[in-house]
Amino acid sequence: MKLNSLLSILADQEVHSGESLARELGVSRTAIWKQVRKAMSEGYAIETIRGQGYRLSGRVDLLDRQVILRQLEDNLASQIDLEILGETDSTNAEVARRLARGQSRIPVILADCQTAGRGRRGRNWSSPKGQNLYLSLGLPIKGDFTSLDGLSLVLGVAAAEALESIGKASIKLKWPNDLFAEGRKCSGILVEIQGELQQGYVQVIAGIGINVHMQQADEVDQPWTSLDLAWPGITWIRNSLAAAIIEAILKAVSTFEEEGFEPFRELWQARDLFRGKTVAAREGQLKGVGAGVDSQGNYLLEVDGSQVAVRAGDISLRVKP
Ligand code: BTN
């Protein structure tokens, strides 16, 4: 039993009996007691409550592979090859390296921190240690490059639904797939394509960064928030977030492969940050009122009574000052 497995269970700061911990982790109560002592010697504040069990006082939020796998449905857990790294340059880059080596299951990489986290449009993604979620999946998508229309929006819907299912929070989406909490960006998704078309599949790398506990980030040049800052009343646990996101993405991708973007269109539009607002696109050249997305996932602007589609990659929507 790894110390992190025990700490991950105690992270909810509830009282857990030695018996229930032993059962959950498949070890003896003595082994639990030894691990509790080890944790205390490493500085974790664990109270022993007579006749009841153990409680961790103070916040700890460790990533743990087994805890995440246990929260996934069996048929999904068996599809993925999940690995947690203490540090990497970028989880997207790490997935790309795994794919280049060739592997049969879907590589899923989580890191406690990234030294070269990348965002969309060549930006950096702030990735301090232990605070946020940095997660990438190597997804083989059936079809050719044209089958990818709308995929990046689908991933945004999946991530929003996952967060909402855990926290009863309400997430907005800024086209194409930035997640907003209480009016500020809390998460971004980077979709990259690896290599050429292979045997009817496009190899997509989907990387999601979620600001979970972050309280300060001087280097971020746009208004941002974290889940803790936006909703302090909710206990956000990175393992639960990771499991919910992995599950939501795998299920959404499977629906997307069968049915395309259409089943997700309304789900996306219901969270549209810009709906009905005056916005500018194409470096300010085009101004209009946000009107949702079309069947390919392009953003629609109402301009002088007609709708103009704004395509992926060439615009940045901004609320007009
Ligand atoms: C954005 O610019 O909004 C997209 C940010 C994507 C960040 C994530 S963190 C995990 C994965 N690894 C990276 O290097 N980037 C993505």
CB 83 within 8 A of CB 137: no
Q: Percent of the chain beyond pLDDT 90?
A: 73
What's the 304 CA to ligand 1 centre distance in angstroms? 36
Q: Which fold has domain 65-269?
A: BirA Bifunctional Protein; domain 2 (3.30.930)
Vertex 99, ends 97 and 103: CA angle to 5°? 125
Higher pLDDT, 211 or 287: 211
CB 173 within 8 A of CB 268: yes
**Which range has highest mean pLDDT (58-72, 219-233, 257-271)?**
257-271
User: From the centroid of its chain, how far is CA 246?
Assistant: 8
CATH architecture of 3-56: Orthogonal Bundle (1.10)
* 117 in a known ligand binding site: no
Mean per-residue pLDDT for 198-208?
Answer: 91
Q: Same fold for the domain at 65-269 and the one at 274-319?
A: no
Q: Is the pLDDT of residue 106 over 80?
A: yes
In sequence order, the 6+-apart residues with CB closer than 8 A to the CB of 144 are: 197, 200, 202
Q: What is the pLDDT of residues 14-50, one digit of tens each?
A: 999 999 999 999 999 999 999 999 989 877 889 999 9
Put residue 284 in one of left, alpha, beta given phi > 0 → left and psi -120 to 50 → alpha.
left
Res. 197 pLDDT band, cuts 50 70 90: low
Q: Is the pLDDT of residue 12 over 50?
A: yes
Marked catalytic residue, from 120, 184, 251, 282:
120
Q: Name the pTM for this structure.
A: 0.85
Q: Is the pLDDT of residue 198 over 90?
A: no
For the question of residue 129 being annotated catalytic, the response is no
Q: Percent of the chain beyond pLDDT 70?
A: 96
Counting ligand 1 atoms within 8 A of each CB, the residue from 84, 98, 155, 208 with the most, and so the one to mutate, is 208
Per-residue CA distances from 183 to 102, 166, 179, 186, 226 (Å): 41, 19, 10, 9, 11
* 185 in a known ligand binding site: yes
Sequence ranges of the domains in the chain: 3-56, 65-269, 274-319
Q: What is the pLDDT of residues 227-247, one digit of tens each?
A: 999 999 998 999 999 999 999
Instruction: Tell the residue nearest (CA) to atom 7 of ligand 1.
Output: 209
Task: Output the pLDDT for position 312.
Answer: 56
Q: Which fold has domain 274-319?
A: SH3 type barrels. (2.30.30)
* 92 in a known ligand binding site: yes
Task: Output the pLDDT for position 320.
Answer: 45
Structure tokens at 17: 């009996």
Residue for token pair 């646990």: 237
Helix axes 3-10, 18-25, angle to 10 degrees: 130
Res. 287 pLDDT band, cuts 50 70 90: confident
* Main-chain dihedrals φ then ψ at residue 86, nearest 5 degrees: -65, -45
